[in-house]
Amino acid sequence: AWLTTTDDDGGRHVVRGLQAQTPFAFQAGTGGSGENITVDENTRYQTFTGGGASFTDTAAWLMNSSGALSGATRDATMRKLFSPTEGIGLSFLRNPMGASDLARYGYTYDDVPAGQSDPSLSSFSIAHDLADVVPLTRQALQLNPSLTVMASPWTAPAWMKDSGQLNGGWLKAEDYGAYASYFVKYLQAYRDQGVPVSYVTAQNEPTCCSGYPSMSWNASGLAYFTKSELLPKLQAAGLSTKVLAHDWNWDVYDSYAAQTVDDAAVRAHPNFGGIAWHGYGGDVGKQTSVHNQYPGVDAFGTEHSGGTWIANQQREDMLNIVDYTRNWAKSVTKWSLAVDQNRGPHNGGCGTCSGLITVHNG
């Protein structure tokens, strides 16, 4: 057992973190008589893939190249986060494919000068991620080899969009194929760096939000792109990465993801992996409703940020873990792994989100 002690009502100011307690073992006849727990071994639920957060550009930069942490402090922090024996054993990472709102600036992996395009993706490069995101993700995998990595894009490159900008706009129909190839190149590049990516989503929170890197979709566009472009290209490339539908809130599933998931051909595709859920709107029971409709479709909790709007963060986190897993989720994922003392840097979007850790920078 491990104990973390805080001295504030919000459960944010840690006085003593991850203190190992005296080991104990459950033995017959040693408990009180108040409660009985009966385990029904014949009823099976989902397996648990993991819990974790995201190496946003903000988190990775703060922890690595910002200079805020010494190498020794960074490594000790990584052990506390990812080691199953020396820390809390985080086992699930959902990393942005390019910039999100918790990034220092906007970028993708194929940015070209305004007015130009690159349909052959000849300028594709993950060089940005090689500075911080890739080395820290690789270190996390070394600390916890059972770690699962997924990736979600906030936007396609600006030249693929009708707006010509990273913030807002729609993917142009003529670039659906190039965008699916963009996913393939990303997955291959990460694989070549020793980081296998097990899951992707087509889009983080479609239609939200124009104030930071983002891209709009409707249900039919997502369904077509997933079925006719993304899934076939992953399979043709020999990639085992699976696509998760939705990646948004419970209350908008019917409006954005149902058309994709309702397609039996999508559900049967070897590269389809299930549904990704966020917890910012609606009721967690939606996960069970969809599970009852499609029992063979896995559910993953892929984003639920902490923040200043939450009165007691520790209590909220525990309730979220219970809620997600009682409603069939195989993962529980918070948002940025780290922010600084000003809850940044951020590129528009959330200026009140908290991380798993706070890195004091400057």
Which residue type, as a one-letter code, is found at position 276? A
**CB atoms near residue 135 (< 10 Å):** 16
Cα separation, 79 vs 73, in Å, equals 10
CA angle, corner 191, sides to 187 and 195, nearest 5? 105
- Verify whether residue 41 is a known catalytic residue: no
Catalytic residue of the set 41, 229, 303, 316: 303
- Verify whether residue 316 is a known catalytic residue: no
Catalytic residue of the set 41, 174, 205, 229: 205
Exposure of 46 by Cβ count < 10 A (0-12 exposed, 13-18 middle, 19+ buried)? middle
* Residue owning tokens 């948004």: 248
Closest by Cα among 214, 86, 93, 199 to 153: 214
Could you give the residue numbers annotated as active site? 205, 303
